[in-house]
Amino acid sequence: MAWVPAESAVEELMPRLLPVEPCDLTDSFDPNVPPRTPQEYLRIEAAQCPDVVVAQIDPKKLKRKQSVNVSLSGCQPAPEGYSPTLQWQQQQVAQFSTVRQSVNRHRSHWKSQQLDSNVTMPKSEDEEGWKKFCLGERLYAEGAVAPAASESPGIDYVQIGFPPLLSIVSRMNQATVTSVLEYLSNWFGERDFTPELGRWLYALLACLEKPLLPEAHSLIRQLARRCSEVRLLVDSKDDERVPALNLLICLVSRYFDQRDLADEPS
């Protein structure tokens, strides 16, 4: 086996970006004299660069979740009579696209509007706080006794959840949008579908930027599959949850181009 010098081994692994002829600068190199030609400049720079550079990485600054598992399994087929028509799906995609354009166009305006004094948005990493904020203390507690009307005059958003107002969602950056989508998807993974949940999922999808990040790609596919699973448990096609579940599956599959998850038109 032929012996290969260390420098040649480095060049095998890391081909040169620009051709630089080898030279010995020990005698001719004067750091106080500017290089006279481009070739001389490249030679001086090359001589001063180390063969190997090691990046100093602080593991504390790395995100906890670095791995993204994307399942390729599709949605559960819709029961007979539950699947929407192709025309309905196309209409929903067109309307959703209009909503997204409107949100983006007016984001700066709504972001500048002052929130009501009772609105305190949780921090991005506060999963339980966002579940309570979006769904309400009552739904979050599951089975808590609702207060009497005389004890809670007016609308108590802390109890019923804050709606996804433009003044709220416009303040959410993409990291927060993805995080809240994950929090609510986790909640939905073990519970039934509710109107409060549906409103927030629709709003978050409307704020989700394309092209999708890997985390968001995995989340929306998980969401569509869960919607198809819940739809199987609905007793009647006239149940109000069916069109809402169909809508979310439609947006994920047809607007966000996850066509393998799309419902077959009825």
For residues 30 and 143, the model is more confident at: 30
| Per-residue pLDDT reduced to its tens digit, 8-39 | 444 444 555 556 565 555 556 565 677 777 76
How far is residue 203 from each of residues 71, 81, 200, 245, 248, measured CA to CA in Å? 24, 27, 5, 14, 11
The answer to whether residue 164 scores a pLDDT higher than 70 is yes
* CB environment 133-152: b (16+ within 10 A), e (fewer): bbbbbbbbeeeeeeeeeeee
Domains of the chain as residue ranges with CATH: 86-140+157-261 (1.20.58.1070)
Q: Using CA atoms, how far apart are residues 160 and 149, in angstroms rounded to an integer? A: 13
What average pLDDT does range 163-169 have in this prediction? 94
Q: Which pLDDT score, from 0 to 100, does residue 135 have?
A: 95
User: In residues, how long is the chain?
Assistant: 266
Return d(Cα 242, Cα 226) in angstroms, integer.
13
Q: Which of 91 and 65 is assigned the larger pLDDT?
A: 91
Q: Which two tokens stand for residue 6?
A: 């260390």
**Residue 84, SS3 per DSSP:** coil
The pLDDT tens digits of the residues spanning 180-211 come to 999 999 999 999 999 999 999 999 999 999 99
pLDDT in tens, 81-134: 999 999 999 999 999 999 999 999 999 898 888 888 889 999 999 999 999 999
pLDDT in tens, 209-241: 999 999 999 999 999 999 999 999 999 999 999
pLDDT at 18: 59
Element (H, E) at 93: helix 86-112
Buried b (16+ CB within 10 A) or exposed e, 206-218: bbbeeebeebbbb
